[in-house]
Amino acid sequence: MEFNWTTFLLEIINFLVLVWILKRFLYRPVLNIIARRQQDVEQLLQETTAERQSSEALKVRYENRLADWEQEKEGVRRTLQQEMEAARRRGLDELAGELDDERKKQQVLSERKQQESEHLAEIQALSLGADFTARLLQRLASPELEARLIKVAIDDLDTMSAEQREVVARAWSNGNGAIEVTTAYPLDQARQESLRQALARLIDEEVQCNFRQDPELIGGVRLKIDHSVLHANLQDELKGFVEASRDC
């Protein structure tokens, strides 16, 4: 094995060229690409960390919002419950008030109905009583009774107040100059005269009377001066008694 200077020199050149080539085409690209990859990984890691932090923040915010919503929901539900309770209570109060009013109304109605029925019964009883009395009086009526009634009528005419007298005088002045005298039984001359005189005293002037007979009167007399009627007979008294009770 001989030492060859050419080989020696060429190897030196060869190795230096190799170092240059490997440095240029191997080490530098490999280290660069590793550095770039590492950089990418770090960047990705940073991004991931940032995203994770962002996600954590979002999660916290979401949880806070959920808690707020829950709180708000609870508040709204409580308010709604209170409002519903108030509305229910109000409704119950109104219903109770309406029921009370209705009950009072019903009570008033029933009272009124009772009063009406009582009144009706009273009227019916009065009517029946009047009918019964009328029938009884029809059986008891007689010219003597009528004579007594005419006497009562004459007494009443004489004891009339000043206002009543004025009303009768006004009716007489508006009338046709005759007073219609109706009796149940025929009047004799003396009673007709005493009646005419009593009326003349009432009006304070001479009067003319037209005497009529009406058995419906049962007993007594009815004096008609224009539109005013003075009655002292049993039928009108009974009728007046029934109508007076009907008015009240």
Residues at the site binding other proteins, with contacts judged by CB under 8 A: 1-12, 14-19, 21-27, 29-31, 33-34, 36-37, 40
Please, what is the minimum distance in Å from the beta carbon of residue 71 to other proteins? 50
The residue (of 15 and 62) whose beta carbon lies closer to other proteins is: 15
- Secondary structure element (H or E) that encloses residue 131, with its range: helix 28-140
In this structure, how many other beta carbons lie within 10 angstroms of the beta carbon of residue 152?
A: 13
Tokens of 25: 């085409």
CA 164 vs CA 22, 170, 202: distances in Å: 157, 10, 10
Six token digits for residue 198: 């009593």
Based on CB atoms, which residue is closest to other proteins, 31 or 58? Answer: 31
- Give me the least distance between CB of 9 and other proteins, in Å please: 8
SS3 for 159? Answer: coil
Nearer to other proteins, 19 or 109 (CB): 19
Q: Which residues pair with 228 in a beta bridge?
A: 225
Give the nearer residue to other proteins in terms of CB position, either 7 or 53: 7
How far apart are CB 20 and other proteins at their closest, in Å?
Answer: 8
Nearest to 225 by CA among 183, 195, 180: 180
- We find the least distance from the C-beta atom of residue 64 to other proteins, in angstroms, to be 41
Beta bridge partners of 74: none
Which is closer to other proteins, CB of 40 or CB of 102? 40
- Provide the minimum distance between the beta carbon of 3 and other proteins in the complex, in angstroms, as a whole number: 6
